[in-house]
Structure 1
């Protein structure tokens, strides 16, 4: 373990007992110990890592609304046993309330023991005491200040994505501050975004370009991380949810102040595009690039087609320090591989009660992925869209992805490489699980298994018959034992930054060679032709890529494919105001209780989502609104 990890763990343990005011955590506690905490460099460094600890606790995807509310993965809610806190997955079932908000990052304690206001308070305390250590060099002081300003900006931004207008906490309050002074009002969205950007701008110049001492410091914030986050912040500010959203027109706080921007401002997209391009330039200057090399560890024999899939997979599940396109992740590993892998051996079936393989992908998510021609399945002139549910045996043309001779759905054949790198389904080949020679690779047999496993077997709890293969490292083995090869799930990858830049530039200026360039770089790594070539040759709507609106749809779909299951798309769908459309349709899977192909490949509704306009922003708990009479509840709650 790196030394930095140890500091984080120490900070987590020592900070869990910190008390806080229920409505806002802005006053410092343990005042008598602050002088001790900053008496020298070593003690101050420990406090710095306590500022980081809140961020590290945000790594758990089950508490990430961008992951659980994206409709990319469905979790069954009738298992009769609790493997983890499933409340975040249940949000799309309409369980949100003001009485006891789900994924409550505003209130006291926070979800998963994360309190973002407490994290902000620690940052303010650090900044206010940074001059006390007498043995802290000026250069290191500047770096620490920059790191803490980044953290403070990120915590505010995390709250903004969930709640919109926030309370800006720029300084600590005395422990004996009058209670009324702690009852703060919310700033407007424009004020909130401006504050976050100002903190990032203040931090960026003094952050290190790279981490030189990776043994002790890997995972700490660099300049290119902060610049990439700034681009995302500005893109969020420019997006339809916050940029002139008519649903929030005229919404005011209790004093009559407008909380949301009154009209659309196109210049916000230009600012986002400029920030994204600057971040790309910095990332590439530091050696970051798209991962195009397949992993070689333990791979004894694989075709070029399988190597392409491994290349795509390792862009997500490869080790951070070896992944050339991973801009930012958190130090803790992704802890749910046992929930995303089908049972591929008879011995693995016996482990179902511990690792139930029940993170299920709805059919709608699979239909986002392109055909092998690089266009949507309902636009491809060469693809039998209406016959996609018809059973068809795997053939020679698809032998690297589908078991030859095995009946699967016709729609599983002739798809782009990211389809097979991201999804596991009935008949699909799974390279890995201890079989690292292509000729020995197992394949998924879903038909009949669910029908014979019995209603109480947790092997039957993948309610769609489709697994998010992308989230499993190819070296992880579930057989007689479960041997996990861990990885850090990315927060920002270079491919995502490329697509963010293309999105912002298209919104600011419309289609251009520059926009196409950055989309096509991502597509080329996935083995696809460029946007213009693909749409011209294969789409029933060949002009779609030439107009701003059509290209917007293409970019949005490209992001949903490229970043699927990574905890990003739920946030994208919110800022685009597209989540309500996605959740307006029943989520379906295969007819998993049937054993024959004809019966199995009949879509069956597994969940009818509940999502309205009010759900774009999370509610603040009623008790917090009551205690702080200056606090205004979010619209429609």
Structure 2
């Protein structure tokens, strides 16, 4: 079964439940649960379709936030769109409140709808006599564990945005029930998600999956363990662990620092690594184009198309023009080290201001399209008046850069063609970097911390250099290593909805986001090219309140027990 079959099945059940009479003999807006969870359905066909509907709540990150990537609301990019209502610009300039937080990021109701759907499935699947088995379990129990995994994922998405939220357990409320529930503490929510991951991991599929064409979208034991590691990493981070925005408020984080939280996060990440079933692909670029590869811990299917290129590719091409929606910043470009692994600010790095993209970390070329890069059998021109920066009213790059990541191998092609656009929600490189971060914070820059970073840099194509250190300075302090890890996450995970949240959990947004975003003005006179930085957007971050989103105004109004986050 290919990607589209899963998506079509999910759509089918949604339509069936919402009113398309093609799928049922009775009015489908009245379909009772006993028609979905049918004790006569030994294959569990309808129940599985309902589960696909729970999967559909997962977000696909490609241009999902008002047509942009969420990273365009961080210091890594800006939106090329000029509309004043642009969602990521609202997010990055603090132009929102509890009434007006944009719907593409105000996902409180979305995830609670997913939690309700998951609970409906969990509460009703037992009556379905599914005959198929997996590892000794009836497949219906595997499905139930999948629903619990999705529910845990939805709760994590809630707590990283809002802090502690009401925990529903397995309850499904009706219109006559009192649902004025208070928020659970942040600690309660973390413990609940972790306990769910521990409870379900051994009843999920095991990687490698025997039929990846049919089942690659489903969580595995490694997925549950990786979600646990991610939750614990966030819980150990400064925003929640010692840097609570309201020191005595247990809804917004822990009320005291505990170093053991970092150790717990490191242990959880190492447990996934010790499964010895996941690994880094040799080629960084292949991670996003090769389905069912061993770096994918959990993903959301996207189908085969060229939408990423159409939305974000450079303008100026007749056969394969893009809209240039995403403009990477100079700050992101400068974060990529040289091919020798040294930062461009290091006098020994070999960086040349007049040839700024030469001999850089290969991930720069895989992530960003810059002036002079090869694309569609051409040399990209983002100098003023160039083919891909013609100026005028056409939407185009605002920074002289275009996003390259996630796109197909079109350097030497004449036109775009379809390729996989699955969205990787969790991947192994992220987990390895999380392990390095947590271990550094708990034990300092040990050999294992160095080795974790070296594995990422080696795969990236960084030169081994003296002592096979891949550009890493020997004998770093914990503080020095922390900076290196932060930068490594930035360049490795660019545009993967990491940077936006990392700046918050590290409590760095108040510094980073309160300064202008910059791009480059590139001018060409004859064969001479000059590069001059320029401000392209003034961003703003109101600390401490913006470290968490406001609880939506209507949720607070209708529920007297729903406490608002501080400052909102």
- Normalising by structure 2, we get a TM-score of 0.87
Partner of 1:337: 309
Q: Distance in 2 between matches of 1:513 and 1:523?
A: 15
Partner of 2:25: none
Q: How does 1:312-391 map to 2 (within 5 A)?
A: 312-316=284-288, 318-321=289-292, 323-333=293-303, 335-343=307-315, 345=317, 347-348=318-319, 355-384=322-351, 388=353, 391=354
Secondary structure in structure 2 of the residue aligned to 1:364: helix
Q: 1:624: Cα distance to partner?
A: 1.8
Q: Distance in 2 between matches of 1:240 and 1:563?
A: 20
Q: Distance in 2 between matches of 1:220 and 1:107?
A: 22
Q: How does 1:101-120 map to 2 (within 5 A)?
A: 101-103=101-103, 110=109, 115-120=110-115
Contact 2:520–2:533 (CA<8 Å) still a contact in 1? yes
Q: 1:277: Cα distance to partner?
A: 0.6
Contact 2:217–2:299 (CA<8 Å) still a contact in 1? yes
Q: 1:344: Cα distance to partner?
A: 6.3
Partner of 1:278: 271
Q: Distance in 2 between matches of 1:360 and 1:635?
A: 33
The answer to whether 1:219 aligns with 2:217 is: yes
The answer to whether 1:494 aligns with 2:428 is: yes
Secondary structure in structure 1 of the residue aligned to 2:356: helix
Secondary structure in structure 2 of the residue aligned to 1:446: coil
Q: Distance in 1 between matches of 2:505 and 2:513?
A: 15
Q: How does 1:2-41 map to 2 (within 5 A)?
A: 2=3, 3-14=5-16, 33-39=32-38, 40=41, 41=44
Structure 2 unaligned residues grouped into runs of 5+: 21-27
Contact 2:71–2:497 (CA<8 Å) still a contact in 1? yes
Q: How does 1:191-340 map to 2 (within 5 A)?
A: 191-210=188-207, 211-251=209-249, 259-282=252-275, 284=276, 286=277, 288-292=278-282, 311-316=283-288, 318-321=289-292, 323-333=293-303, 335-340=307-312
- 1:218-243, CA deviations, whole angstroms, 9 ceiling, x for partnerless residues? 21111111111111111011111111
Q: 2:49 aligns with which of 39, 46, 50?
A: 46
Q: 1:577 aligns with which of 507, 526, 532?
A: 507
Contact 1:48–1:148 (CA<8 Å) still a contact in 2? yes
- 1:30-66, CA deviations, whole angstroms, 9 ceiling, x for partnerless residues? 7860111101322222222222221256666326985
Aligned length: 545
Partner of 1:634: 565
Secondary structure in structure 2 of the residue aligned to 1:320: coil
Partner of 1:75: 79
Q: Distance in 2 between matches of 1:265 and 1:627?
A: 36
Contact 2:522–2:532 (CA<8 Å) still a contact in 1? no
- 1:352-383, CA deviations, whole angstroms, 9 ceiling, x for partnerless residues? 5xx32231111111000001220211124243
Contact 1:591–1:599 (CA<8 Å) still a contact in 2? no
Q: 2:382 aligns with which of 443, 446, 455?
A: 446
Partner of 2:406: 471
**1:453 and 1:379, CA in 2 relative to 1: closer, same or farther beyond 3 A?**
closer
**1:36 and 1:69, CA in 2 relative to 1: closer, same or farther beyond 3 A?**
same
Partner of 2:145: 146
- 1:98-154, CA deviations, whole angstroms, 9 ceiling, x for partnerless residues? 11212466677x5xxxx1111100111111112211345652122112111101100
Q: Distance in 1 between matches of 2:466 and 2:267?
A: 24
The answer to whether 1:590 aligns with 2:517 is: no
Higher strand share: 2
- Normalising by structure 1, we get a TM-score of 0.78
Partner of 2:158: 159
Secondary structure in structure 1 of the residue aligned to 2:420: coil
Contact 1:516–1:531 (CA<8 Å) still a contact in 2? no
Secondary structure in structure 2 of the residue aligned to 1:560: helix
Q: 1:11: Cα distance to partner?
A: 3.4
Q: Distance in 1 between matches of 2:184 and 2:8?
A: 37
Q: Distance in 2 between matches of 1:568 and 1:234?
A: 16
Q: Distance in 2 between matches of 1:98 and 1:79?
A: 22
Contact 2:523–2:531 (CA<8 Å) still a contact in 1? no
Structure 1 unaligned residues grouped into runs of 5+: 19-28, 253-257, 293-310, 392-409, 434-440
Higher helix share: 1
